[in-house]
Structure 1
């Protein structure tokens, strides 16, 4: 893995951790009492920390399977916490569900490409994967901090419900 990728990965990890600490501070200080933000940012910080530190960077394609499992488990844990606590999903929670789903699909594509197709040389999909996963991670961090629907995803939800 290149040096830039390791550094960018660290920035994403720090962003997830700081979004949780910021939401924790807002919650404790009575600035923002949205439990959904606290749950979502906390689970995301733990998930990204563990997925970043509990696998070997041995350059195998099977790491994509690990990341698929981490994202699925993260979605399920966030969903379960909200249901158990009877907490309404925040905008950030919806964005995290959407973002982790996109990342999971891309991880599955990379797993298929590198294992089933035995592709060893970078091609268009690899570049699309890299750009999209990093962009989605930055969007999730931004939404965990701002809790704003700046991509208008909620409009898509309402369009779907009206049909």
Structure 2
């Protein structure tokens, strides 16, 4: 299977949320905070194995009824087999499941990842990391702050 990222959507945590968390009212640090916020989101994605931003991916390859994409959480998916749209698809975790009557040679899947409602505990973890990076810019953050990792543990994909 070949997985290609096509698009990056909105950030799950806004600059305004980060500024409120940091208690900053001016726009003087917006670029710096935005960079730290994006780094914090990436750190949370790496820690959990989840796609926290809304991404769009293309997955192509040989036909199979169950295609493990490694992408979670799947918000939307559409499938074409040999160029024909398949309507009765399902997904579980990172696996796209095709109906038993489906067959073909080549498969193309478009997947949109993300949450319908973004979890507050992940938002809190991202804001804690953003604050740590902002307050200690010269500190090498080798591990997530303990409170952040505790908040993210429930979402971590073990054995991915």
Q: Scaled by the length of structure 1, what TM-score is found?
A: 0.28
Q: Scaled by the length of structure 2, what TM-score is found?
A: 0.28
Where is the helix percentage greater, Structure 1 or Structure 2? 1
